Amino acid sequence: MTSAALRLGAASDGLPAEGRAPGMMTNIVTIAGRELRESVRARWFVLYTVAFAVLGLAISMVSAAATGGSGLASFGRTTAGLINLVLLVVPLMALTAGAGAIASDRERGMLQYLLAQPVSRLEVLLGKYFGLAGALLACICLGLGTCAAVLALKGMGTKPSGVLWLAGLSFLLALSMLSLGILISTLARRASVAVGTSVFAWLTLVFVTDLGLMAGAIALRLRIEQLFALSLANPLQVFKMWSLHAADASLDVLGPAGLYATEEFGNRLHWIFGVCMMAWIVVPLAIGAVVMSRRSPV
């Protein structure tokens, strides 16, 4: 491919043409915008958004009907149902989206073409990450916003602060799972392998971890503080505890570990949960950047 063709392709894709020296932020924003446009037009975005909105609306209606739909009292059950839905849908959505970000481009030869432009590998990685993050944020806002709007129109109890908290925490969970998906994508050479690995990681985090904690607590006779520390190692558990704590719900639904956390840390739990979630966002993404910098784009 000639240099003229490369310049023409870069201009059509929204990338900086050869001969200019844009800054790092300009490159990241350009790649993120391109990734966001492609994501919102993709089939996975439409399917996940529709499924999230429909399931969330169904759970909200059933939960509100179970309490008579009167006042804000019904919103507690609705929030609990939406938390469980987020735990299932959002990690799967973010993991699979991130897993295909780098591996699919490498498999199709697009990554080699992209890196032939005046952009660094870190800029490509961050641009794809922020673009997918924007698509995930739109999906979460559309899903939860639809639930809140329909409940409000039907006169059922809604609590704007509760919806905003749940949307914000859901986005943090999505960012952490997107970082893990990006890491998987940098390690895999084929998109099918990356997506399959991300689904296995989702099953492990959702199901195996809970069962492992229960089995370990019984078999190893773990102390309560040890059980709580192990729970912090799972971003899904952190999201669940943080969401319940933010909704002013008692953590005793999580068993002895939840009671211990409430009594021992109190209001400091927000900081503990925030640090754990930020670690899950930053560490996998940083490892993915190191891996990508050392691997061939083909």
How many H-runs (helices) and E-runs (strands) does the chain carry?
Answer: 13, 0
pTM across the whole model: 0.84
- What does the buried/exposed string (b/e) look like for 263-282 if buried means 16 or more CB atoms within 10 Å of the residue's CB? eeeeeebeebbeebbeebbe
Distances 66 to 62, 78, 101, 157 between C-alpha atoms, Å:
6, 10, 42, 13
What pLDDT is recorded for position 14? 47
pLDDT band at 10 (very low <50, low <70, confident <90, very high): very low
Which pLDDT belongs to residue 94?
Answer: 94
Does residue 157 register a pLDDT over 70?
Answer: no
Structure tokens given for 232: 């912090």
Domain coordinates in residue numbering, the chain: 3-294
pLDDT confidence band for 253 (50 / 70 / 90): low
- Using alpha carbons, select from 288, 90, 278 the residue that is nearest to residue 180: 288
The whole-number pLDDT of residue 189 equals 85
User: Which pLDDT score is estimated for 66?
Assistant: 59
Average pLDDT of the segment spanning 271-278: 91
State mean pLDDT over 19-38: 83
Percent of the chain with pLDDT over 70: 75
Is the model's pLDDT at 120 over the cut of 70? yes
> Is the pLDDT score of 221 beyond 60?
yes
